[in-house]
């Protein structure tokens, strides 16, 4: 595709250490209008244990669909999604999901939201409060434990959602543009926090975004997806050491590279339904 050494065409040969394995997955939706939309076509990707992967691509490239498949909220029409070599059949707390909209239960306090999640993974009742408080401290929200979700700012809500996700002690953290609705400042704070969390937990993170800068800052590997029907077209490995800083000049260069590449993909894509410019903010 290009001579850029940072680029590999996917699929790569699957490795035994794959935490997640997406094998030739096709998923078609029937829209309310009756129109059939192919969101994913024969998508194949392997994600290693403890790897931080960012999926990036124009709107409608099936990023969210892929995440829902991994989460177990949807089932593929063809192909399979494997976790530790076993097909994913249903959602479960071993795969925590951060949606774009913070999804705390509005009738529970922040603390109760975490305690509920802890209860679902079988934490004994008397340990729940202490454990929940511990996770809230991790995201600097301990002071707001008793607050109702709507009393928090959007950024704080997303942090509380992150704390709840972490409290489940998932093996995989899935995130669907979780910071997309936030202002630039809270977004940056949360990106830093997420980096810290990953460094501490070394869990497998799969992060969907259309923000190139965010992807490059966070990921080990940025995977580019083509517009509808979505499939993986290329990937960039980001080998910069962590913790990374936004000011890093090398990272900025990678951002520009990925961005250019993405633009090319969007333009060259079969379905050139006005691919929106990827977000460089």
Q: Write down the H helix ranges in the chain.
A: 63-71, 110-120, 125-138, 154-167, 184-201, 212-218, 249-268
72 vs 76 by CB, closer to another protein: 72
CB of 33 to another protein, least distance (A): 19
Q: Which residues contact 19 (CB under 8 A, 6 or more apart)?
A: 47, 48, 49, 50, 51, 83, 84, 171, 172, 204
Buried b vs exposed e over 154-171: b needs ≥16 C-beta within 10 Å? ebbbbbbbbbbbbbbbbb
Nearer to another protein, 82 or 167 (CB): 167
**Coil, strand or helix at 162:** helix
Interhelix angle 154-167/110-120, rounded to 10 degrees, is 20
Q: Give the nearest distance from C-beta 124 to another protein in angstroms.
A: 16
Report, in Å, the least distance between residue 222 CB and another protein. Answer: 24
Q: Which residues bind another protein (CB under 8 A)?
A: 71-73, 90-93, 95-97, 99, 101, 103, 105-107, 116-117, 120-121, 148-151, 164, 168
Q: With respect to another protein, which residue has the nearer C-beta, 164 or 187?
A: 164
Closest of 58, 39, 44, 30 to residue 212, by C-alpha:
58
Question: CB-wise, 95 or 213, nearer to another protein?
Answer: 95
**Closer residue to another protein, CB minimum distance, 96 or 258:** 96
CB of 48 to another protein, least distance (A): 22
At its nearest, how many Å lie between another protein and the CB of residue 70? 11
């Amino acid at each position: 595709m290009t001579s850029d050494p940072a680029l590999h065409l996917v699929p790569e040969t699957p490795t035994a250490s794959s935490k997640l394995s997406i094998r030739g997955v096709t998923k078609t939706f029937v829209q309310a209008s009756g129109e059939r939309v192919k969101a994913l076509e024969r998508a194949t990707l392997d994600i290693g244990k403890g790897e931080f992967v960012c999926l990036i691509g124009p709107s409608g490239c099936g990023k969210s669909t892929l995440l829902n498949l991994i989460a177990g909220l949807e089932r593929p029409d063809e192909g399979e999604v494997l976790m530790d070599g076993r097909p994913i059949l249903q959602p479960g707390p071993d795969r925590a999901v951060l949606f774009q909209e913070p999804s705390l239960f509005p009738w529970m306090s922040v603390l109760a939201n975490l305690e509920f999640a802890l209860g679902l993974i079988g934490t004994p009742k008397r340990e729940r409060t202490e454990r929940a408080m511990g996770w809230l401290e991790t995201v600097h929200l301990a002071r707001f434990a008793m607050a109702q979700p709507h009393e928090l700012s959007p950024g704080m809500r997303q942090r509380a959602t992150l704390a709840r996700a972490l409290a489940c002690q998932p093996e995989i953290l899935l995130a669907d543009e979780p910071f997309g609705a936030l202002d630039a400042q809270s977004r940056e704070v949360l990106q830093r926090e997420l980096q810290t969390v990953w460094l501490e937990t070394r869990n497998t993170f799969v992060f969907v975004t259309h923000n190139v800068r965010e992807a490059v800052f966070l990921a080990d590997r940025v995977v580019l997806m083509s517009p509808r029907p979505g499939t993986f077209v290329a990937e960039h490995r980001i080998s910069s050491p962590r913790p990374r800083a936004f000011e890093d000049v090398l990272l900025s260069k990678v951002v520009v590279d990925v961005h250019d590449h993405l633009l090319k993909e969007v333009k060259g894509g079969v379905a050139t339904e006005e691919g929106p410019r990827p977000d460089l903010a």
